[in-house]
């Protein structure tokens, strides 16, 4: 009995030590600068991704759309595989292969049974470093992406977000939409793809992220085998910083059934000390919950909008906060005034202790639940490691949220929600 008590106390002490040293995530840097991050789970499904710190904002004017085009074309054949064999390699064992492009990242990732970690890593390495971009496949993919652009233009509730960023970041590379233009896409060649990769894919800007039931030593052995021999190439060029925001208002006739509106302001960048404050403020105003202030004001109480949401995006050197809603034309003025009323209310009246506590618990719960999706977790820790070279364990994230005060929210609201600083785009 005494031995059991000592063992139990030892396990409690070990658990406490593990919590204190924050070893939730294990990391390693290869000799070529590629970084690796891993969280081990007991799930039979593994998730492996490659995150590259390159996106559409890194394009030159004549390259607009090229980062996204490469994300499509990277699956079209390698030095040893045709396009069909690229797709079949992981799908033949029930896995999935996917990719996406943002304004600052390009990501390739796969989901599979953990017994196929080696297969997934080899495939991701092959398509990233050995893709040949055959002209025939490139030309076919041009038509696919042009159809994607046309489809996007048919959805005003999606298109307005891109055009709002063009309005806010006017003339800056971050303003351009990710998909590009039909004219530019038709001019892309294999040479332009290889040139962009050479200029923008750097080993010190690549993170390999893993969440799955594999030991870190076994993972590193696999990663070293397929990524360790890649020649080191470090980023020397810096992104053009955005620093000349001027509020603008614009209305466009789109002949849509609803009036669509986006209004917002630049916000804190990804490294700003008030970023967590802004995340909480955004969640209070128009986050994913049905009891957000804007959803209650426009949808639940007045029935003016089916979709009302706020969004906060933190880029490396700036950020963007916006509110979107769509409503019948005759209800637009009332809906718009209600949004501004909520802005004014949160600027003029600090949250009480109970309101603040509830808002924090809600955000903490949402974050905790989101980590149950292991593919999302893999992408989240990978992006954090890519941007900050570290990842906060959940308990640290929760501590940071708990540390936000009513004064912090009040100050951020008055900086970001000032009506004089807001830009607005309307489709009517």
Question: Looking at residue 1, what is its pLDDT?
Answer: 46
Question: Looking at residue 7, what is its pLDDT?
Answer: 41
Question: Looking at residue 12, what is its pLDDT?
Answer: 39
- For residues 204 and 255, state if they share a domain: no
Question: Looking at residue 167, what is its pLDDT?
Answer: 98
86's tokens: 């690229």
134's tokens: 């055959």
Question: Looking at residue 24, what is its pLDDT?
Answer: 72
Q: How many whole angstroms separate alpha carbon 18 and alpha carbon 307?
A: 44
Q: What DSSP assignment string belongs to 374-415?
A: HHHHHHHHHHHHHHHS----HHHHHHHHHT--HHHHHHHHHH
What secondary structure letter does DSSP report for 87? H
Tell whether 17 is covered by a domain: no
Question: Looking at residue 118, what is its pLDDT?
Answer: 98
Q: What is the chain's Cα-based Rg?
A: 24
At residue 54, what are phi and psi to the nearest 5 degrees? -145, 130
Q: Is the per-residue pLDDT at 19 higher than 80?
A: no
Structural domain range at position 144:
24-227
Residue position matching structure tokens 């900086």:
415
Task: Determine contact, residues 207/36, Cβ cutoff 8 Å.
Answer: yes
- For residues 80 and 205, state if they share a domain: yes
Tell whether 390 is covered by a domain: yes
Question: Looking at residue 255, what is its pLDDT?
Answer: 83
Which of 227, 259, 293 marks a domain boundary?
227
Through-space distance between the first and last CA atoms of the chain, rounded to whole angstroms: 76
Q: Is the per-residue pLDDT at 23 higher than 70?
A: no
- For residues 221 and 253, state if they share a domain: no
- For residues 74 and 192, state if they share a domain: yes
Q: Is the per-residue pLDDT at 212 higher than 70?
A: yes
The count of domains in the chain is 2
Task: Determine contact, residues 178/102, Cβ cutoff 8 Å.
Answer: yes
Four-residue CA torsion sign, 193, 195, 198, 199: negative
Q: What is the pLDDT of residues 213-233, one digit of tens each?
A: 999 999 999 999 999 999 999
Which of 227, 261, 278 marks a domain boundary?
227
Q: What is the pLDDT of residues 50-96, one digit of tens each?
A: 999 999 999 999 999 999 999 999 999 999 999 999 999 999 999 99
Q: What is the pLDDT of residues 311-351, one digit of tens each?
A: 999 999 999 999 999 999 999 999 999 999 999 999 999 99
Bridge partners, 148 (sequence order): none
Computed over every residue of the chain, the mean pLDDT equals 93
Four-residue CA torsion sign, 30, 36, 39, 40: negative
- For residues 390 and 288, state if they share a domain: yes
191's tokens: 């040479």
- For residues 181 and 329, state if they share a domain: no
Tell whether 10 is covered by a domain: no
- For residues 208 and 65, state if they share a domain: yes
- For residues 140 and 259, state if they share a domain: no
Pairing assessment for the beta strands 308-314 and 319-328 based on DSSP bridges: antiparallel
Of 14-28, 63-77, 115-129, the poorest mean pLDDT is in 14-28
The gap from C-alpha 36 to its chain's centroid, in whole angstroms, comes to 19
pLDDT band at 253 (very low <50, low <70, confident <90, very high): very high
Tell whether 244 is covered by a domain: no
Helix then strand then coil, % of the chain, to nearest 5: 50, 20, 30
Q: Is the per-residue pLDDT at 297 higher than 60?
A: yes
- For residues 208 and 292, state if they share a domain: no
Based on the number of CB atoms within 10 Å of its own CB, is 369 exposed (0-12), middle (13-18) or buried (19 or more)?
Answer: exposed
Question: Looking at residue 237, what is its pLDDT?
Answer: 85
Q: Rounded to a whole number, what is the largest CA-CA distance in the chain?
A: 80
Mean pLDDT of 354-376: 95
- For residues 314 and 421, state if they share a domain: yes
What secondary structure letter does DSSP report for 41? -
At residue 102, what are phi and psi to the nearest 5 degrees? -120, -170
Tell whether 37 is covered by a domain: yes
HSE-up of 157 (CA within 13 Å, CB side)?
11
* 224 contacts: CB under 8 Å, gap ≥ 6: 30
Task: Give alpha helix (H) positions in 327-393.
Answer: 332-348, 353-370, 374-388
Tell whether 236 is covered by a domain: no
Q: How many whole angstroms separate alpha carbon 386 and alpha carbon 405?
A: 29
Tell whether 3 is covered by a domain: no
- The CATH number of the domain where 278 resides is what? 3.30.830.10
Q: Is the per-residue pLDDT at 4 higher than 80?
A: no
- For residues 65 and 210, state if they share a domain: yes
Question: Looking at residue 228, what is its pLDDT?
Answer: 98
Which of 163, 195, 227 marks a domain boundary?
227
Question: Looking at residue 8, what is its pLDDT?
Answer: 39
Task: Determine contact, residues 123/63, Cβ cutoff 8 Å.
Answer: no
Tell whether 5 is covered by a domain: no
- For residues 418 and 356, state if they share a domain: yes
């Amino acid at each position: 009995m005494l031995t059991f008590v000592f063992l139990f106390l030892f396990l409690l002490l070990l658990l406490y030590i593990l919590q204190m040293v924050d070893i939730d995530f294990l990391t390693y840097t290869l000799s070529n600068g590629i970084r690796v991050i891993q969280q081990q789970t007991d799930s039979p499904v593994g998730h492996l991704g490659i995150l590259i710190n390159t996106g559409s904002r890194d394009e030159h004017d004549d390259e607009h759309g090229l980062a996204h085009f490469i994300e499509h074309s990277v699956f079209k054949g390698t030095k040893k595989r045709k396009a069909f064999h690229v797709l079949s390699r992981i799908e033949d064992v029930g896995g999935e292969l996917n990719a996406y492009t943002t304004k600052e990242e390009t990501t390739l990732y796969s989901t599979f049974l953990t017994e196929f970690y080696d297969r997934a890593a080899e495939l991701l390495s092959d398509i990233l470093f050995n893709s040949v971009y055959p002209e025939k496949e490139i030309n076919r993919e041009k038509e696919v992406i042009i159809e994607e652009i046309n489809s996007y233009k048919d959805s005003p509730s999606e298109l307005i977000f891109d055009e709002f960023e063009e309005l806010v970041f006017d003339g800056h590379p971050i303003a351009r939409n990710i998909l590009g233009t039909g004219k530019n896409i038709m001019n892309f060649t294999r040479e332009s793809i290889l040139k962009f990769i050479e200029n923008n894919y750097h080993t010190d800007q690549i993170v390999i992220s893993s969440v799955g039931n594999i030991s870190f030593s076994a993972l590193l052995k696999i990663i070293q085998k397929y990524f360790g021999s890649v020649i080191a190439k470090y980023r020397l060029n810096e992104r053009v910083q955005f620093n000349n925001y001027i509020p603008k208002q614009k209305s466009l006739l789109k002949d849509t059934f609803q009036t669509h509106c986006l209004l917002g302001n630049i916000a804190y960048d990804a490294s700003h000390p008030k970023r967590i404050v802004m995340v909480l403020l955004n969640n209070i105003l128009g986050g994913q919950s049905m009891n957000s202030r804007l959803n209650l004001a426009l949808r639940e109480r007045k029935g003016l909008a089916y979709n009302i949401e706020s969004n906060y995006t933190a880029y490396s050197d700036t950020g963007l906060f916006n509110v979107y809603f769509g409503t019948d034309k005759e209800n637009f003025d009332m809906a718009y005034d209600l949004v501004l009323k909520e802005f004014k209310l949160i600027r003029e009246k600090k949250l009480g202790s109970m309101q603040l506590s509830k808002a924090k618990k809600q955000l903490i719960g949402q974050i905790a639940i989101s980590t149950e999706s292991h593919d999302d977790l893999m992408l989240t820790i990978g992006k954090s490691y890519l941007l900050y070279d570290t990842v906060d364990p959940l308990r640290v994230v929760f501590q940071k949220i708990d540390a936000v005060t009513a004064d912090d929210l009040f100050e951020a609201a008055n900086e970001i929600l000032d009506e004089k600083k807001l830009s607005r785009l309307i489709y009517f």
